[in-house]
Amino acid sequence: MAARPVAANPEAPIPPQCYTRTAGVANPCWTCHTTRNGNNYKADWQLQEVYAFSEAGLENHWKTLFEDPRPAMAGIRDEAVAYYIAEDNLGPWLATRPAGVPAFDLTKGVDAQGFLHDGSGWRAVRYQPFPGTFWPTNGASDDIYIRLPTPFRSTADGKASPAVYRLNLAVLEATMSAPDTVADDKISRRVEPLDERVAGQDLDGDGELTTTTTIRGLPSHYFGAAAKERVQRWSYPRGTEFVHTVRYLDPAAHGWLSPRVKEFRYSIKWGDPDATGRVAAYQEAAHEKAVGALPYFARGEHGGLRNALGWEYRGWIEDRDGKLRAQDYEETLSCMGCHGGVGITVDSSFGFPRKVPGAAGWAVQSLDGLKDIPQAGHAEPEVLTYFKRVGGGDEFRGNTEILRRFFPKGRLDEASVRRASVGGDADLRHLLLPSTERAMALNKAYWLLVRGQRFKQGRMPVLAPATHVLQTVKNGDTELRARQRIYSDGRLWLDWPEAP
pLDDT in tens, 24-54: 999 999 999 999 999 999 999 999 999 999 9
The closest of 123, 56, 60 to 457, measured between CA atoms, is 60
pLDDT in tens, 258-308: 999 999 999 999 999 998 999 898 888 888 888 888 889 999 999 999 999
Residue 499 is predicted with a pLDDT of: 54
The Cα angle at residue 351 between residues 445 and 192, in degrees rounded to 5:
130
In angstroms, rounded to a whole number, what is the distance separating the alpha carbons of residues 315 and 107? 20
Does residue 178 have a pLDDT over 50?
yes
Residue 426 is predicted with a pLDDT of: 98
Does residue 70 have a pLDDT over 70?
yes
**Percentage with pLDDT > 70 across the chain:** 99
pLDDT in tens, 425-465: 999 999 999 999 999 999 999 999 999 999 999 999 999 99
Does residue 500 have a pLDDT over 80?
no
Residues whose CB is less than 8 angstroms from the CB of residue 54 and which lie 6 or more positions away in sequence, other chains included: 11, 289, 292, 294
pLDDT in tens, 313-360: 999 999 999 999 999 999 999 999 999 999 999 999 999 999 999 999
Residue 94 is predicted with a pLDDT of: 95
Q: How confident is the prediction for the chain on average, in pLDDT? A: 96
**Percentage with pLDDT > 90 across the chain:** 94
Query: Confidence band (pLDDT; 50, 70, 90) for 229?
Result: very high
Do the beta carbons of residue 212 and residue 134 sit within 8 Å?
no
Does residue 15 have a pLDDT over 50?
yes
Q: Can you tell me the mean pLDDT for 396-413? A: 97
Q: Would you list the domain boundaries of the chain?
A: 16-88+131-144+242-477
Q: Can you tell me the mean pLDDT for 218-231? A: 98
Burial of 268: CB neighbours in 10 Å, binned 0-12, 13-18, 19+: buried
For residues 6 and 182, the model is more confident at: 182
Long-range contacts, stretch 149-155, CB < 8 angstroms, 24+ apart: 149/226, 149/237, 149/238, 149/239, 149/240, 150/121, 150/225, 151/224, 151/225, 151/226, 151/229, 152/222, 152/224, 152/225, 152/226, 152/229, 152/237, 153/121, 153/224, 154/224, 154/225, 154/226, 155/224, 155/225
Long-range contacts, stretch 252-255, CB < 8 angstroms, 24+ apart: 254/364, 254/366, 255/141, 255/143, 255/364, 255/365, 255/366, 255/367, 255/368
Residue 289 is predicted with a pLDDT of: 83
